[in-house]
Amino acid sequence: MNNIIDFYQFRRQKKIKKFHRFIVFIGVIIIFFVFAYAVIGTEVHHPTEFPSYIEPKL
């Protein structure tokens, strides 16, 4: 009887491990997309304080 109980507990732990792995994988993907969005978002919008040309002196 103990062998059967241990087998079911092993299967449950295996499922929990797979679930944790899935959660970590999703978390890594979300962090990657947030980082990529931050990098792209800051590079696309140039600061408006500095002109893109040099004004001629009169």
Residue 41: per-residue pLDDT: 77
Cα–Cα–Cα angle for 19, 21, 23, rounded to 5 degrees: 70
Q: What is the pLDDT of residues 16-45, one digit of tens each?
A: 999 999 999 999 999 999 999 888 877 665
CA gap 24, 20 in Å, rounded: 6
pLDDT mean over 41-54: 63
Q: What is the DSSP string of 6-40?
A: HHHHHHHHHHHHHHHHHHHHHHHHHHHHHHHHHHH
Give CA–CA dist 21/23, Å, rounded. Answer: 5
